[in-house]
Structure 1
Amino acid sequence: MLKIQDITYAIDGRTLIENASVTVPTGHKVGIVGRNGAGKTTLFRIIRGELVLEGGSIEIPRGARIGGVAQEVPGNEVSLLDTVLASDTERAALMAEESDDPHRIAEIQTRLADIDAWSAEGRAASILRGVGFTEEEIHMPCSAFSGGWRMRVALAGVLFSAPDFLLLDEPTNYLDLEGALWLENYLGRYPHTVLLISHDRALLNRAVGAILHLESKKLTLYTGNYDTFAKTRAAQRAVQAAAAKKQAAHREHLQSFVDRFKAKASKAKQAQSRVKMLEKMETITAPEDAARVVFTFPEPEELSPPIINIEGGSVGYDGKAILQRLNLRIDQDDRIALLGRNGEGKSTLSKLLSNRLDAMGGTITRHSKLRIGFFAQHQVDELHLDETPLDHVRRELSHLEPVKLRAKLASFGLGAEQAETAVGRLSGGQKARLSLLLATLDAPHLLILDEPTNHLDIESREALVEALTAYSGAVVLVSHDMHLLSLVADRLWLVKDGAVTPYEEDLDAYRRFLLSGDEKPKAAKQAAPARRKATREEFMAARSEVRKAEARIEKLTEMSEKLQVKLARPELYENKGEAIIWQKKYAEVVEATERAEALWLAALDALEKMES
């Protein structure tokens, strides 16, 4: 259990948290939300003991481990797999310990069995694959990867170490869609307490069972996912606003009586009574309206279709084609989401479409008047930190008056104060809004967005959805934000195995495909066949397969338990050769159990599809 009691903390004289209390039961998965700058990350640092409280206390069980992604993994020559394995410091220490004492050896082996040490490599590799690394890459040194990819290694490390309290601060900012969906599924099965700061609405709806809201320096815990929280919060605000309005009218009525009759002797007593009522009345404050975040994209003129047409195209690097046989068409009213696992070529296709990468073959026809806006995360990192947002737009639109330049900044939620602030002092969300503005200054007919919601809070993401919906140009999206994709995209392209093909099913189907581990998604169909109702025989066979899978898991679990008992006996280690044999047998049973569980999940999925 995590118990936060009456805590207060301030930074530079500004109080972020004041007399706040909340209790998070053991094993709960909690999403933490609040405006940018409210103090969510500061709260994490307080829980980890990195900051000294001005008042109150944090209570966690004695010996409980707290883990989080503090910083990226160093770019050294240690492999990704070994880096992740080393993050479980207890296992690493036990594996390195040498002893001739049979009893100590037995203690070590018992503890290693308790923490499932023999399947560690398989678990670490599985997590690394989940966050986007290939089988080949997990054996490569950390120095071979950029900072963003090393953040994924750091995330994999803390997940592998499985702390009792897992603190994650915007973890999907490091991931693509596939990694975000994998993390969502992983957190759902995580056996300990999870505290998750996130602006990813889909993640907060699927991975947590409660929302902790940091607002007005207080902490309030709401049961349910983000959508439930949003509905509850809206209802509360409506009640609060109505109560405040009613009280204001009552105050006005009382004050009017006092003002009219305080000088009359016959009414003095009643007037004084009403003054006391006013003094004792506890003020109901109307809810503070959230600052309205906006994005206003300039409207391009309409072009005749298609704006881009590719026939037999191919593209790649250094003479090697990454994507081939491309036959694609984009019209100005298209809203396209690019799907595909990491490394399949989504960014390569984005560069080809935006004319940042030349085609190696085929024919590409672009409308002669086509203007393209391109946004990618690296552009946020390339902003001039010592310049202001006003400096950035003045460089691009030097012919415009300052008042018009400020108006453009305001149309992307950057007010007068931010316009004159050095970019290095802006928040991540403000920098992202500036980069989006720069990408759309010339009213592009096609807008290509690669992870546009990183660092944007929930209000900004909703504003982006509204702006893209109203925008009259074409949109090509690469994003891990399922909520954004579901509301904006009306066409899905799957980038896989060197090809780009239409994905005819919906995002929910794609999510199920990714989580199933299947290598053959249903894509590029000319027409979706009507679903055939399963026969009684097929239904019974599917049920039988589920029962068989459950029986296999039960049998393997019994074998695992027996082997753990045997491995815990001190006398076994008097014969090292025999001990190694039994340890290998145990590792084989663990691996077989994982395969059996995967088959069971597949059988369950097949049965559920028949039932639906």
Structure 2
Amino acid sequence: MLRISDISYSVAGRPLIEHASATIPDGHKVGIVGRNGTGKTTLFRLIRGELALETGEITLPKRARIGGVAQEVPSNEVSLLNTVLAADTERAELLEESHTATDAARISEIQTRLADIDAWSAEARASSILRGLGFTSAEQQMPCSDFSGGWRMRVALAGVLFSQPDLLLLDEPTNYLDLEGALWLETYLARYPHTVLIVSHDRELLNRAVGSILHLEDKKLTLYQGGYETFAEARAARLAAAESEARKQDARRAHLQSFVDRFRAKASKAVQAQSRLKMIAKLKPITTPQEAALKRFTFPTPEELSPPIIRIENGVVGYDGKPVLSRLDLRIDQDDRIALLGRNGEGKSTLSKLLSDRLDLMQGRMTKASKLRVGYFAQHQVDELHIDETPIDHIRRLRPTETPSRLRARLGGFGIGSEQAETLVGRLSGGQKARLSLMLATLDAPHMLILDEPTNHLDIESREALVEALTAYSGAVILVSHDMHLLSLVADRLWLVKDGAVAPYEGDLQSYRAMLLGNDKPAKVEKPKTNKPKRPSRDAILALKKDVKICEQRVEKLNEMREKVAAKLADPAIYEDTYGVADWQKKYAEIEDGLVRAEALWMAALERLEHAEI
């Protein structure tokens, strides 16, 4: 059991955590949430004993092993598989000793312990973890030096998962995973045999992989039972109750004060006035948790272009003469919201580079609208910012004639305040750097925005703001993300990049998730059920309701698109261009087809919910 008792800690004299307490039973999976800068990572360092507490104590069972991903594995010549195997130091030490031990009793102890920790299946377990995180069997035999820093972070994660510490501390583990790796981690953590604490802003991970939420807010810790959606509902009710009590107390204080003000000077009422002053003094202020101002994103509005803005016919793209994607027959319109699905290495980044003019076609034809502007955001661009310059310096280089006030207004539209605008980028948080890169990517009001993992380092409030901004944005969106919540709310088309091709995915995100997870599980033999079906849990009902809402929103969006295209087709002016009319007619047919599928998915979701609620 992990006990956090009355702990306090300050940074440079500023209290970060004050007299906070929480108890985590053994084997529990807990998500730690809170706005960026509230002290979640600091809490992990306090648990590991890397920082000294000012008050209180943190206790764990004796000999409990704490594990986490501190940094990427070194770039050396050791294979990925052997690197992961070496992470279980006890197994490695016992195996080494087994080759030199001569005492019969000690040899027996070593063999017994090796059997207890399942040492002989270690290679298969390590390989399975690496495979789940995206490494093929061939790649597992390659040296760490063959992989970039992001991939070596995955190896480090694989190592700590393999070593199975008694307390597993994970700080934003999905930041260096793709969607497939994040889904695998979600199911792995749900089955993990020991205690897990996860700092994360990934709503789906917090809904599926943990059983409770530890909220760090206003320097205090509050433990909520259930996943993130349950926590959000409970916290909203708590906030509403606190605000209601605060309003009642304000009204009570005002009433008492009005009596004092009226009768303070009257001798006959002096005693009563003094009595009410004492009552006012005894009223303890009811404080409500400080809500962060939602830092919105403000994307510039591009002018409308005639469809399609991009058309690719029989395209082939790759590197050094070797095709990665072939037979590309794709069309993108300005109102498209497309999510790219597919495992790492299948070609999602290659397609993104082709669409953003960072790669040329090897064969085939690509036509673009003549005035097309494309914005591109990828995680590596955040890392390529000039750390010795300020955000103002970055934008001034691109807009040298604009006034300082205009430059600051542009930064403010992405939640970068006046203080951060003059701060060196090297001192900004990861979220602030991501906002700066997003601002730079959209500076020219692009007609199409390509986003590769845009939510890394953004807290939940900022992710919700990004969803709102993308929903309001009038350009096309091409999205690659491990954040299922973002994908479900933004994307209305899914493209699957697989086996060297790109094709529409006919199902929804939930069916894609089920397909991915099903591939990693052995087929189950269905047994006849004789017992009465168990009523779904509250969390399951909430998940079904969420599916219904997402399906309904998709139908509404497609209806809006259909009305817009129908209005275009009703305009006599477009019939002057036969080629343009054909494009609009094809677009209308595609929307009609998509609407039929979306309505079918909506009805199926409603039926599942109705069946569950019976």
Structure 2 counterpart of 1:433, one-letter code: R
- Who is 1:497 aligned against? 499
Q: Residue deviations 1:315-360, cap 9 Å, x none? A: 0001000000100000111000000011000000000011100110
Deviation at 1:494, TM superposition (A): 0.5
TM-score (norm 1): 0.85
Give, in whole Å, the separation in 1 of the partners of 2:266 and 2:57: 55
1:543 equivalent in alignment to 2:545: no
Deviation at 1:288, TM superposition (A): 2.2
- Who is 2:130 aligned against? 128
Q: Residue deviations 1:228-281, cap 9 Å, x none? A: 111111111111111111111111111111122122110011011101111111
Q: Residue deviations 1:568-589, cap 9 Å, x none? A: xxxxxxxxxxxxxxxxxxxxxx
Deviation at 1:544, TM superposition (A): 7.0
Deviation at 1:139, TM superposition (A): 0.6
- Who is 1:555 aligned against? none
Contact conserved, 1:299 with 1:443, CA < 8 A, in 2?
Answer: yes
- Who is 1:446 aligned against? 448
Deviation at 1:99, TM superposition (A): 1.2
Q: Residue deviations 1:273-319, cap 9 Å, x none? A: 10111111111124423222100111111100100000100000010
Deviation at 1:430, TM superposition (A): 0.4
Give, in whole Å, the separation in 2 of the partners of 1:62 and 1:286: 38
Give, in whole Å, the separation in 1 of the partners of 2:326 and 2:104: 62
- Who is 1:268 aligned against? 270
- Who is 1:8 aligned against? 8
Matches within 5 A, 1:116-515: 116-515=118-517
| SS of structure 1 residue aligned to 2:527 | helix
- Who is 1:51 aligned against? 51
Structure 1 counterpart of 2:369, one-letter code: H
Give, in whole Å, the separation in 1 of the partners of 2:294 and 2:485: 20
Structure 1 counterpart of 2:329, one-letter code: N
Using the aligned pairs only, state the percent identity: 75
TM-score (norm 2): 0.84
- Who is 1:564 aligned against? none
- Who is 1:96 aligned against? 96
Deviation at 1:100, TM superposition (A): 1.9
Structure 1 counterpart of 2:527, one-letter code: R
Contact conserved, 2:218 with 2:289, CA < 8 A, in 1?
Answer: no
Give, in whole Å, the separation in 2 of the partners of 1:3 and 1:179: 32
Alignment coverage as a number of residue pairs: 529
Give, in whole Å, the separation in 1 of the partners of 2:290 and 2:131: 44
Contact conserved, 2:217 with 2:289, CA < 8 A, in 1?
Answer: no
- Who is 2:19 aligned against? 19
Shifted more, 288-297 versus 375-384: the winner is: 288-297
| SS of structure 2 residue aligned to 1:374 | strand
Q: Residue deviations 1:365-406, cap 9 Å, x none? A: 111110000000010011111111111111111222211111
Structure 1: gaps of 5 or more residues: 520-538, 546-607
Contact conserved, 2:218 with 2:290, CA < 8 A, in 1?
Answer: no
Give, in whole Å, the separation in 2 of the partners of 1:441 and 1:354: 15
Give, in whole Å, the separation in 1 of the partners of 2:515 and 2:291: 41
Structure 2 counterpart of 1:476, one-letter code: I
Structure 2 counterpart of 1:28, one-letter code: H
| SS of structure 2 residue aligned to 1:155 | helix
Give, in whole Å, the separation in 2 of the partners of 1:427 and 1:479: 21
Contact conserved, 1:212 with 1:220, CA < 8 A, in 2?
Answer: yes
Contact conserved, 1:4 with 1:57, CA < 8 A, in 2?
Answer: yes
Give, in whole Å, the separation in 2 of the partners of 1:47 and 1:287: 25
Give, in whole Å, the separation in 2 of the partners of 1:21 and 1:207: 23
- Who is 1:590 aligned against? none
Q: Residue deviations 1:91-122, cap 9 Å, x none? A: 00111002122222221111111101110000
Deviation at 1:543, TM superposition (A): 2.5
| SS of structure 1 residue aligned to 2:249 | helix
Deviation at 1:518, TM superposition (A): 6.7
- Who is 1:571 aligned against? none
- Who is 1:69 aligned against? 69
Give, in whole Å, the separation in 1 of the partners of 2:248 and 2:401: 52
Contact conserved, 2:467 with 2:490, CA < 8 A, in 1?
Answer: yes
Backbone CA RMSD of aligned residues: 1.7
Contact conserved, 1:449 with 1:475, CA < 8 A, in 2?
Answer: yes
| SS of structure 2 residue aligned to 1:259 | helix
Closer/same/farther in 2, CA of residues 58 and 151 from structure 1, 3 Å limit: same
Give, in whole Å, the separation in 2 of the partners of 1:286 and 1:209: 26
Contact conserved, 1:241 with 1:287, CA < 8 A, in 2?
Answer: no
Deviation at 1:467, TM superposition (A): 0.4
Contact conserved, 1:450 with 1:479, CA < 8 A, in 2?
Answer: yes
Contact conserved, 1:335 with 1:474, CA < 8 A, in 2?
Answer: yes
Structure 2 counterpart of 1:346, one-letter code: K
Shifted more, 277-286 versus 87-96: the winner is: 277-286
Give, in whole Å, the separation in 1 of the partners of 2:13 and 2:267: 50
Structure 1 counterpart of 2:125, one-letter code: R
Structure 2 counterpart of 1:212, one-letter code: L
Give, in whole Å, the separation in 1 of the partners of 2:287 and 2:341: 47
Structure 1 counterpart of 2:16, one-letter code: L
Give, in whole Å, the separation in 2 of the partners of 1:63 and 1:335: 51
| SS of structure 2 residue aligned to 1:333 | coil
- Who is 1:80 aligned against? 80
Structure 2 counterpart of 1:543, one-letter code: K
Give, in whole Å, the separation in 2 of the partners of 1:331 and 1:368: 14
| SS of structure 2 residue aligned to 1:543 | coil
Structure 2 counterpart of 1:347, one-letter code: S
Closer/same/farther in 2, CA of residues 15 and 518 from structure 1, 3 Å limit: closer
Structure 2 counterpart of 1:259, one-letter code: D
| SS of structure 1 residue aligned to 2:437 | helix
Structure 1 counterpart of 2:190, one-letter code: G
Deviation at 1:446, TM superposition (A): 0.4
- Who is 1:557 aligned against? none
Structure 1 counterpart of 2:150, one-letter code: G
Structure 2 counterpart of 1:491, one-letter code: R
Matches within 5 A, 1:508-523: 508-517=510-519
- Who is 2:556 aligned against? none
Deviation at 1:214, TM superposition (A): 0.5
